[in-house]
Amino acid sequence: MKIHKEGFLIIAFAFVIISFLSFISIALVPFAWLTYFLIFGFSVVFLWVVLFFRVPLRKINYGNHILATADGEVVAIEEVTEKEHFKERRIMVSVFMSPFNVHVNWYPFSGTVTHVEYHPGKFLFAHHPKSSELNERNSIVLEKEPGKDILIRQVAGIMARRIICYSKPGDTAVQGKELGIIRFGSRVDFFLPIGTEIKVQMNQKVKAQQTVIGQFKE
């Protein structure tokens, strides 16, 4: 495991704040047991911040399939009208990332990035069905070949305040390589072509780089 580069500054800032609060607790709190309790609580928060930016070293499940882009729980599998790019009926598979999941995002298959667009918006709870359309979000269209393309939507949640995406139109994507990260609780939606064989179920826990969420129709 390593720490994501986007976390270095935040971790350093959290360390300074936690150290300051701990010093204040030692200096001002009159009860030793309460001081120890507060320092323990501050330490837990700091550990959570560090672990939030963890990047696990995993064996990538390479293959002619669509891998999960994010860790989390499948909260939606439904046919919808994708209004932003394809403007047609698509199968939407949504993965909710809790604050305790890994929040780095990876490419689900190898191909070409054809579209990237950021949308400012609200910060509704990422589990909310409308969060995909109303929240701050970033869309990436990845094409394997004509007729085999998907839209990956990074959606900010109630705690998330920044979506980071490294993808640009024209980029060559490699299955399992990083495309970005979302800070502190969020969601990723996949808009797949009708006819795609879905390999996951509702409420299933998935892991990026390893869990197969679908297979393109041949």
Q: Which residues are catalytic?
A: 186
Contact 121, 103 (CB under 8 A): no
Residues near 214 by beta carbon (within 8 Å), at least 6 away in sequence: 65, 66, 91, 93, 190, 192, 196, 197, 198, 199, 200
User: For 20, what's the count of Cα atoms within 13 Å in the CB-facing half-sphere?
Assistant: 6
The H-or-E segment that residue 13 falls in is helix 8-28
Amino acid found at 134: L
- Dist CA 104 CA 54 (whole Å): 8
